[in-house]
Amino acid sequence: MSSEVRQFTVGTDDEGVRLDRWFKRHLPQVGFATVSRWARTGQIRVDGKRADPADRLSAGQVLRVPPGGEQTEKGPRLRKPLTEEQRLLAKDMVILRTPAALVLNKPPGLATQGGSGTHEHVDGLLDAYADNNGPRPRLVHRLDKDTSGVLLIARTPGSAAFFSKQLSGRNARKIYWALVMGVPQIEDGLIELPLAKQPGTGGEKMMVDESGEGQSARTRYRVLDRAGNRAAWVELQPLTGRTHQLRVHMAAIGHPIVGDGKYGGKDAFLSGTISRKMHLHARRLIMPAPGGEEIDVTAELPEHFAASMAGLGFDEMDGAQIPLPPPPPPREVKKAEAKAHAKQYRKERRGERRKRGESDGAPKRAPARKGPVKAAGRPAAKGPAKDPAKGPVKPRKR
């Protein structure tokens, strides 16, 4: 336990962070109640002035912390030391290292985080990337256990907050490759189907929910190549970030991902030498990084995926020659477009009402609106009508 007054200089990585959050980052052994008491009694000082736990800090400020305050009843849980094999695995996964981030190529079969009965996971390997006396790197997004590919790790608390904001603001472009059963009739499409947790599965499985209770989910896809009518190699771009979104959406349009028995059942497997593992790979990540830089990284295919590509006659280099689709417009642009559309619609409606009022005789009665069109084999959904021949897929212009 410290018996002397301590002084800390706020670093650039803590620019704008709240005082109580600074303690959680750098002195986690000091509880929130202690921080509040110190602030209330004037024992915490920022540049010599009293401070409140909610105050925002600026880089270069000097923080005075009184002695003591460590929680003795229950300290932080000690982590089990990593084995040499685990450290080698952690090292081999790294495909990009920057001051703000580590980018890994996660192998299939390795969970991102721990859970019931899951003891081997990426989160448990992050101590291998920690610098001496530096902050422990942290996850900012996740991949399913059987999905391979690009996984972003933040190296500092400040970069973790930055990357989380970019991901939640849809400023990151995540490109996936998948092998799917059959060939989608529309080769370049947008799937818009809301998703919800499937009852009775404990949240472990998702389903399409068009009752109005499901969360909005949008997936852009396009066919890169086909093996007759047997299978297709597709590029997937999630425009929202729902659990199992890509897997549920592809199964919902009748083309489950090869090896995804959870959502495709027995129809998700190819005969012959094609692996029964899931063929979904986070191929590329493009997103802003702190300092105005950009991360653009590509992950090599795992062994089973590459072997299946060769077995079906697909050439991985063909995918590199196809340019990426344009990024979706930012939320601000979409809001402005929607507002302009609504304004134009109201203007046109006012013109129609004015013309009806000027016409002779009684105004004509407007025809009754028809209800939503039913998609084949699916109950009517709320919202805009859908072409039953196309279902939930909207064709996109190349």
Higher-scoring residue by pLDDT: 151, 135? 151
CA distance readout (Å), 352 to 40, 142, 340, 345: 65, 52, 19, 11
pLDDT tens digits for 240-258?
A: 999 999 999 999 999 999 9
- Mean pLDDT over 153-173 rounds to 88
Answer whether residue 311 is part of any domain: yes
pLDDT at 72: 47
Report the chain's mean pLDDT, rounded to a whole number: 83
pLDDT at 161: 87
Q: Same domain, yes or no, for 56 and 151? A: no
Q: Encoding tokens for residue 321?
A: 């020659």
Last residue of a domain, one of 320, 353, 371: 320
Does residue 217 register a pLDDT over 50? yes
Instruction: Average the pLDDT over each of 19-23, 171-175, 312-316, 388-392 and give the range with the smallest value.
Output: 388-392
Last residue of a domain, one of 157, 191, 222: 157
Answer whether residue 118 is part of any domain: yes
pLDDT tier at 392, thresholds 50, 70, 90: low
- Domain hosting 53: range is 6-65
pLDDT at 252: 96
Q: Same domain, yes or no, for 184 and 58? A: no
Does residue 359 register a pLDDT over 80? no
Q: Same domain, yes or no, for 89 and 132? A: yes
Q: What are the phi and psi torsion angles at 173 (to 5°)?
A: -105, 115
Within 10 Å of residue 144's Cβ, how many Cβ atoms? 19
Q: Same domain, yes or no, for 177 and 131? A: no
Q: What are the phi and psi torsion angles at 82 (to 5°)?
A: -75, 145
CA distance 250 to 11: 46
Which DSSP string do the residues of 298-344 spell out, in sequence order?
E-PPPHHHHHHHHHTT--HHHHHTSPPPPPPPPHHHHHHHHHHHHHH
Does residue 366 register a pLDDT over 80? no
Exposed, middle or buried by CB within 10 Å (0-12, 13-18, 19+), for 89? middle
pLDDT at 381: 41
CA distance 35 to 27: 10
Contact (Cβ atoms closer than 8 angstroms) between residue 251 and residue 266: no
Answer whether residue 338 is part of any domain: no
Answer whether residue 234 is part of any domain: yes
Q: Same domain, yes or no, for 315 and 196? A: yes
Q: Same domain, yes or no, for 189 and 145? A: no
Answer whether residue 332 is part of any domain: no
Q: What are the phi and psi torsion angles at 174 (to 5°)?
A: -110, 120
- The residue assigned the tokens 């699916």 is 378
pLDDT at 335: 59
Cβ neighbours of residue 206 closer than 8 Å, sequence gap 6 or more: 195, 196, 197, 198, 242, 243, 244, 245, 248
Q: Same domain, yes or no, for 178 and 236? A: yes
Does residue 131 register a pLDDT over 50? yes
Last residue of a domain, one of 108, 123, 157: 157
Closest Cα partner for 40 from 55, 50, 54, 26? 50
What dihedral do alpha carbons 211, 212, 214, 216 form, nearest 10°?
A: 130
Does residue 22 register a pLDDT over 90? no
For residue 382, give the H/E element and its range: none
pLDDT tens digits for 81-107?
A: 889 999 999 999 999 999 999 999 999
pLDDT at 356: 62
Q: Encoding tokens for residue 241?
A: 């970030």
H-helix segments, the chain: 19-26, 32-40, 84-93, 157-168, 245-252, 261-264, 303-311, 316-320, 331-358
Q: Same domain, yes or no, for 90 and 124? A: yes
Give this prediction's pTM: 0.71
How many residues comprise the chain? Answer: 398
- Mean pLDDT over 100-124 rounds to 89
Task: Please report, for the domain that includes residue 111, its CATH number.
Answer: 3.30.2350.10
Q: Same domain, yes or no, for 246 and 301? A: yes
Answer whether residue 326 is part of any domain: no
Q: Same domain, yes or no, for 217 and 307? A: yes
Higher-scoring residue by pLDDT: 381, 171? 171
Contact (Cβ atoms closer than 8 angstroms) between residue 142 and residue 97: no
Instruction: Average the pLDDT over each of 71-80, 94-103, 281-290, 341-350 and give the range with the smallest value.
Output: 71-80
Q: Same domain, yes or no, for 130 and 38? A: no
Q: Same domain, yes or no, for 181 and 146? A: no
Does residue 163 register a pLDDT over 60? yes
Residues that are catalytic: 144
Task: Please report, for the domain that includes residue 20, its CATH number.
Answer: 3.10.290.10
pLDDT tier at 322, thresholds 50, 70, 90: confident
Percentage of the chain beyond pLDDT 90 is 48
Cα three-residue angle 299-282-275, rounded to 5 degrees: 90
Answer whether residue 73 is part of any domain: no
Answer whether residue 368 is part of any domain: no
Number of structural domains found in the chain:
3
Which DSSP symbol is given to 30? B
pLDDT tens digits for 267-318?
A: 999 988 899 999 999 999 999 998 888 999 999 999 999 999 999 999 988 8
